Amino acid sequence: MKVAVSGAMGRLGRAIANGISKADDMQLSGAYAPGHVGKSVAGIGVEDVIEKVDAKILVECAHPVVVMENLKKWHARGMRVVVGTSGFTEDRIAELKSFWGKDDPGCLIVPNFSIGAVLMMRFAEIASPYFDSAEIIERHEEKKPDAPSGTALATAMRMGKKRSSAKLEDNTEVVKGARGGLVSGVRVHSLRMKGMLS
């Protein structure tokens, strides 16, 4: 099966490209990363023109700033896409659904590729109705391009859908944002520091 990676020169994109290249049932057939032509990942030359990407399935790992434009282009080419890019809020998902219909080739948003993280998200969702309050603290290295992470965002959205309309405490913030951001009624705190492991 021919699979390509968009955002192939980023940390996640390189890891996925290397994994695909070692798989017995997949072939890494393209790597897309504008601004990186002439470089290679997992033995494949990097392209900056979408039309040169030869695959039926694409793993999208591009920066959150450009991912929606990329998805429109992949959709126009009739590709099946697995989105690993962070930052898919309910508004962004609604925007995606506005041009990617139910009868189109599949598009799967994956907030985290780790089975442990996916289970943690599910457990938080199941437990959420049983707690009067809940907050998420997530951490990453300082170069992570978004805050909160896609995993924290998706977890908060899932928890919020399961929670009754719990009243948030009326705390006074001496410094704006000190209590974290609010996602679906769940406060999310994002740490970004050198040497921090996610």
Cβ–Cβ contacts within 10 Å for residue 16, how many? 23
DSSP letters for 154-178? HHHHHHHHHS--PPPP----SSTTT
Residue 44: beta bridge partners? 41
Residues 6+ apart with CB under 8 A from 2: 26, 27, 29, 30, 54, 55, 56, 57
Residue in 164, 195, 172, 68 with CA at minimum distance from that of residue 185: 164
Instruction: Give CA–CA dist 36/195, Å, rounded.
Output: 26
Residue in 159, 153, 50 with CA at minimum distance from that of residue 92: 153
Annotated active-site residue in 144, 161, 167, 176: 144
Q: Is 140 among the residues known to form the active site?
A: yes
Annotated active-site residue in 22, 97, 140, 189: 140
Q: Is 72 among the residues known to form the active site?
A: no
Residues annotated as part of the active site: 140, 144
